């Protein structure tokens, strides 16, 4: 009998015993193509030599030194590497162990910044519905995923949620994409005015919405308008790139695609590529300076901040991106994957939308293509597709609730950057078989 407290107490997952390139191998020897990199994590696959070596070398040299006593060479080198490539004005990196910790750090930093600059009345955080920012209480409160929030609602601090920019489901008939983008961005201004501009500290959003919506990019001009509104009212813009950053959408920082610069960015997942647990919160020089010149101390911290082994692994991950020009490859393979999905699935009566950027793709399943009405959530489509795909030998990330936390089904794909065209084609074939099999039972 297992003593592990699993995610799902009623499921018995196979035991993963090995990893080779884009494949995971279980104890029976079965191989699974890692079509979602777990949850958009394993961007270099599972057997990268440079990263493995970097970890071993660092463990032999120095495994751990608490950051209240020391800094470390790997943390310094990784911070230099990130800042040299970060959006203009981003000057400091705060290393944590994952995405939720990065988001918690971002929220607390935003609050402390306004204390330091003598605007203590600013405390409201505005976020979006149908977003996910992590599972710790602060990050969960910021997230707009109704299902994930529901049972913990009494524990969550009050935050505002405006509409996402989700044109497939929410753009009005006859409304242009640009007009729709402006309309949804303007919801931020309306909410700021409702709360009182002098009380709002920050707005947080995923540049490409991952787990909750399934690789939804914003309408052109949406984020430019968001930046304008934040500037107009002196509000910090926090971009959560935990899933979509670090090359996943074809840019090291996902905000580059939108032509805007955030004040705070959160990253994780691909940063360590699964070889080590690591995340980071990066901030503008003006925020760091306010703290340095004010109290001199960010009132936050965790035991494993800036872990040397995690930082060494992460630096090796980022060096690997450049040594093999992998981010450029994400763009070409991403286009290939989109075309392969369209070719194989677009005639399917229940495939409503195939979308995304780079190697971050989403497929939305609907009961009726013309009306975009989703299937009854009681059918549990997402779970069934995940199971059927896994039986085929494909790991993918289906989720229910795209529309409102309950209705709507999508499948997220986030394969390793090293996946070949042949491997991506095979993955699409496996996915098509899984979808067809499951939908045959409900339509």
Q: Which residues bind ligand PLP (CB under 6 A)?
A: 39, 98-100, 103, 132-134, 206, 210-211, 240, 242-243, 268
CB of 293 to ligand PLP, least distance (A): 30
CB of 302 to ligand PLP, least distance (A): 12
Shorter beta-carbon distance to ligand PLP: residue 132 or 417: 132
CB of 135 to ligand PLP, least distance (A): 6
Q: How far apart are CA 168 and CA 179, in angstroms?
A: 14
Shorter beta-carbon distance to ligand PLP: residue 264 or 439: 264
Question: Are 381 and 365 in contact, with CB atoms under 8 Å apart?
Answer: yes
Residue nearest to ligand PLP (CB): 99
CB of 281 to ligand PLP, least distance (A): 11
Shorter beta-carbon distance to ligand PLP: residue 38 or 120: 38
Shorter beta-carbon distance to ligand PLP: residue 148 or 433: 148
Shorter beta-carbon distance to ligand PLP: residue 130 or 423: 130
**Which residues lie closer than 8 Å to 109 by C-beta, 6 or more apart?**
94, 264, 281, 283, 287, 291, 298, 300
CB of 239 to ligand PLP, least distance (A): 10
CB of 143 to ligand PLP, least distance (A): 8
**Which residues lie closer than 8 Å to 117 by C-beta, 6 or more apart?**
290, 294
CB of 136 to ligand PLP, least distance (A): 7
Q: How far apart are CA 122 and CA 111, in angstroms?
A: 7
Shorter beta-carbon distance to ligand PLP: residue 107 or 345: 107
Long-range contacts of 181-186 (CB under 8 A, 24+ apart): 181/218, 181/219, 181/220, 181/221, 181/222, 181/225, 182/221, 182/222, 182/225, 184/219, 184/222, 185/221, 185/222, 185/223, 185/225, 185/226, 185/229, 186/225, 186/229
Shorter beta-carbon distance to ligand PLP: residue 40 or 365: 40
Q: Got the DSSP string for 49-101?
A: HHHHHHHHHHHHH-S---TTT---HHHHHHHHHHHHHSPTTEEEEEEESSHHH
CB of 37 to ligand PLP, least distance (A): 11
Shorter beta-carbon distance to ligand PLP: residue 211 or 366: 211
**Dihedral (CA of 139, 312, 16, 34) sign:** positive
DSSP state of 321: H
């Amino acid at each position: 009998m297992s003593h592990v407290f699993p995610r799902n107490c009623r499921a018995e997952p196979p035991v993963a015993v090995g990893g080779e390139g884009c494949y995971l191998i279980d104890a029976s020897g079965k191989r699974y193509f890692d079509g979602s990199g777990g949850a958009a994590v394993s961007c270099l696959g599972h057997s990268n030599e440079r990263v493995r070596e970097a970890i071993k070398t660092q463990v032999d040299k120095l495994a751990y030194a608490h950051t209240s006593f020391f800094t470390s060479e790997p943390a310094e080198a990784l911070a230099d590497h990130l800042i040299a490539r970060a959006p203009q004005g981003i000057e400091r990196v705060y290393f944590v162990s994952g995405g939720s910790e990065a988001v918690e750090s971002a929220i607390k930093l935003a609050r402390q910044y306004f204390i330091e600059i003598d605007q203590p009345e600013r405390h409201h955080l505005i976020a979006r519905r149908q977003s996910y920012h992590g599972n710790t209480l602060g990050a969960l409160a910021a997230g707009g995923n109704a299902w994930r929030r529901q049972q913990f609602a009494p524990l969550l601090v009050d935050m505002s949620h405006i509409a996402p920019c989700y044109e497939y489901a929410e753009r009005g008939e006859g409304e242009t994409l640009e007009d729709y983008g402006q309309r949804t961005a303007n919801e931020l201004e309306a909410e700021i005015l409702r709360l009182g501009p002098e009380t709002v500290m920050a707005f947080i959003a995923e540049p490409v919405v991952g787990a909750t919506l399934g690789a939804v990019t914003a309408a052109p001009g949406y984020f430019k308008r968001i930046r304008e509104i934040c500037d107009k009212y002196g509000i910090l813009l926090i971009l959560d790139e935990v899933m979509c950053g670090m090359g996943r959408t074809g840019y090291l920082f996902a905000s580059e695609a939108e032509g805007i610069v955030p004040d705070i960015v959160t990253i994780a997942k691909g940063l360590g590529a699964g070889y080590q647990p690591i995340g980071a919160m990066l901030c503008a020089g003006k925020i760091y300076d306010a703290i340095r010149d004010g109290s001199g101390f960010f009132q936050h911290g965790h035991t494993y901040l800036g872990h040397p082994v995690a930082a060494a692994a992460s630096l090796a991950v980022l060096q690997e991106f450049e040594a093999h020009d992998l981010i450029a490859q994400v763009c070409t393979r991403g286009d290939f994957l989109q075309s392969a999905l369209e070719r194989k699935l677009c005639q399917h009566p229940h495939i409503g939308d195939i979308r995304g950027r780079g190697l971050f793709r989403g497929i939305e399943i609907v009961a009726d293509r013309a009306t975009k009405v989703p299937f009854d959530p009681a059918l549990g489509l997402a779970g069934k597709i995940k199971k059927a795909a896994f039986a085929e030998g494909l790991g993918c990330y289906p989720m229910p609730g795209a529309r409102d936390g309950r209705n709507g089904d999508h499948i997220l794909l986030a394969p390793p950057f090293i996946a070949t065209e042949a491997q991506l084609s095979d993955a699409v074939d496996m996915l098509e078989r899984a979808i067809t099999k499951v939908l045959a039972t409900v339509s």
